C-alpha cells in the first residue's frame, strides 16, 4: 500500500503512518504515536502493557489508518515527527516489529 491509497469503494482514504514516539506511564499504559511522513498528522494509540504482554501484541514500524482517524500535530512537534518517520522508513519495513 502506498502512503495514500483508497481503502474502500466508499472513498475512505487509508494513510500509512510511521511510529514516531513510544512512551510509558505510571498506570502501565503504553502510548504509541504514529505520524504521516510529513509529520503534520498523527494518531495516538494507548495499550495496556500487561495486555500486550499476555496477548503477544506486536508494535510495528508503520500502520495504515483511515485519514479520518488522524489529528493535526502541533507545529512544535511536526519537524521532529517528520524526521522520526523518515528514520523509520529508511530502517524498517512497515510490518517490522519494533
pLDDT of residue 27: 84
Q: What is the pTM assigned to this prediction?
A: 0.82
Structural domain boundaries of the chain? 4-91
User: 75 Cβ partners below 8 Å, 6+ apart?
Assistant: none
Q: Is residue 39 predicted with pLDDT exceeding 70?
A: yes
Residue 20 contacts residue 37 (beta carbons within 8 Å): no
Average pLDDT over every residue of 45-68: 84
By CB atoms closer than 10 A (0-12, 13-18, 19+), residue 41 is buried
Amino acid at each position: 500500500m502506498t502512503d495514500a491509497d483508497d481503502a474502500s469503494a466508499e472513498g475512505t482514504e487509508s494513510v500509512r503512518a510511521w511510529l514516531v514516539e513510544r512512551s510509558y506511564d505510571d498506570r502501565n499504559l503504553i502510548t504509541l504515536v504514529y505520524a504521516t511522513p510529513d509529520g503534520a498528522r498523527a494518531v495516538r494509540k494507548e495499550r495496556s502493557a500487561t495486555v500486550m504482554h499476555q496477548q503477544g501484541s506486536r508494535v510495528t514500524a508503520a500502520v495504515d489508518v483511515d485519514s479520518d482517524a488522524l489529528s493535526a500535530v502541533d507545529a512544535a512537534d511536526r519537524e521532529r515527527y517528520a524526521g522520526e518517520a523518515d528514520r523509520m522508513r529508511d530502517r524498517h519495513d512497515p510490518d517490522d516489529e519494533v
